[in-house]
Amino acid sequence: MSSRITLKDLAKKLNLSPSTISRALADHHSIGEETKKRVREKAEEVGFTPNSIAASFRKKKTKSIGIIVPRIDVHFHSRVISGIEEFAYKTGYNVTIFQSKDSFVREKEITKILQNRMVEGIIVCLSIETQDYEHFKRFKKLGMPLVFYDRVPSSLDANKIIVNDFESAFTATEHLIKNNCKRIAHIAGSQNTDIFKERLKGYTAALKKHHLKIDPDLILPTNNLSYEEGVICANKYLEMESRPDGVFCANDYTAVSVIQVFRKAGINIPKDVAIVGFSNYPISGIIEPNLTTVNDRAFQMGEAAARLLTRQIEDEENYIGSEIITLNTELIVRESSIRKASNK
């Protein structure tokens, strides 16, 4: 019952050597077609399934990759994971997942577990607490391929998959300008994180290009861009003497808060104030008015990460690179930003 049939057992039953069985099942060219057929049929008949752990051990290849994400149930990450799984599945890799829960300590614990050669490579989105990258440098020394995505280590030479945050923010802001906004506010993410710094920079650059005044009062930083923080920001804007006529939000949750708070205050979106978000969360297509937002290409990010990782795993020279892949986003224009009274 619990002791299952082995390749050797199968060999005995067929009066062949284990070598031949192994080769036949691997469809090796040196084995005759009839033999292969006999072996396959017998294997099916007796219900033989190879012990992949033994094979992994012998070949020193587990065909499996690890993922460390802050939280699986954050929609962005689950989409990235889906992209990774899809690519991995097609190329014969398994995917083992760990969540750091945004804890630096737990992230380090996980990297310790992953040093044991269970996986051949790792894809990581850093925990929000992580400022020190020693635990990842060890992988480099060990020759373990590593790819970061989204929240990447700024000071570490490594493979990184990111989105062109600067350009995306620039385009989003310019879109508001083209829709006749003159006083454009920005709800920003944590300025400890590169991607949110870039979004802020893109916003500023667009204003500069179009000779609009940059008003520091209109730039409100948040810790984690939560819905609740969005509500607070929106109320601050409401209380201002000179309110903004456009808001570029660094994610969709805060954009939704702004829409709701403003509407409740009798402000028409987009007529009085135009809103643009970032991420293309499902809610952006449901909220009324529908939210103009930046498609963050999460699934493609996962695919790109998996592609880069497996390429490095399979690279003959065992070369551990530090490639940076920047994905282009697209602005999805919906109702929340279209102002009929457009200039030009």
Residue 142 as a binder of DNA (CB under 7 A): the answer is no
| Nearby residues of 146 by Cβ (< 8 Å), 6 or more positions away | 121, 122, 123, 124, 136, 139, 140, 158, 159, 309, 320
Task: Choose between 81 and 169: whose C-beta lies nearer to a copy of itself.
Answer: 81
> Quick one: CA dihedral 128, 247, 176, 286, positive or negative?
positive
| Nearby residues of 310 by Cβ (< 8 Å), 6 or more positions away | 65, 87, 88, 91, 93, 121
- The structure tokens listed for 274 are 């135009």
Q: Which of 13, 40, 42, 50 binds DNA (CB under 7 A)?
A: 50
As beta bridge partners, residue 47 has none
Helix locations, the chain, DSSP H: 7-14, 18-25, 33-46, 52-59, 75-90, 104-114, 134-142, 165-178, 194-209, 227-239, 252-264, 298-314
Q: Which of 13, 42, 54, 292 binds DNA (CB under 7 A)?
A: 54
Task: Choose between 82 and 190: whose C-beta lies nearer to a copy of itself.
Answer: 82
Cα separation, 91 vs 306, whole angstroms: 10
Q: Which of 12, 37, 59, 213 binds DNA (CB under 7 A)?
A: 59
Q: Which of residues 280-309 bind a copy of itself (CB under 8 A)?
A: 282-283, 286-288, 299
The b-or-e profile of 207-242 (16+ CB within 10 A means b, else e) is beeeebeeeeebbbbbeebeeebbbebbeebeeeee
User: What does 240 bind: DNA, a copy of itself, none (CB cut-off 5 to 8 Å by kind)?
Assistant: none
Task: Choose between 33 and 239: whose C-beta lies nearer to DNA.
Answer: 33
Q: Which of 13, 40, 42, 55 binds DNA (CB under 7 A)?
A: 55
Residue 235 as a binder of a copy of itself (CB under 8 A): the answer is no
Site mask for a copy of itself (CB under 8 A), range 15-54, x = bound:
--------------------------------x-xxxxxx
Task: Choose between 14 and 119: whose C-beta lies nearer to a copy of itself.
Answer: 119
Residue 46 as a binder of DNA (CB under 7 A): the answer is no
Residue 3 as a binder of DNA (CB under 7 A): the answer is yes
Q: Which of 12, 13, 20, 314 binds DNA (CB under 7 A)?
A: 20
* Measured CA distances, 20 to 51, 61, 150 (Å): 16, 21, 48
Q: Give the binding site for a copy of itself (CB under 8 A).
A: 1-2, 4, 47, 49-54, 56-57, 62, 64, 71-73, 75, 77-79, 81-82, 85-86, 89, 94-99, 113, 115-118, 141-143, 227, 256, 260, 282-283, 286-288, 299, 318
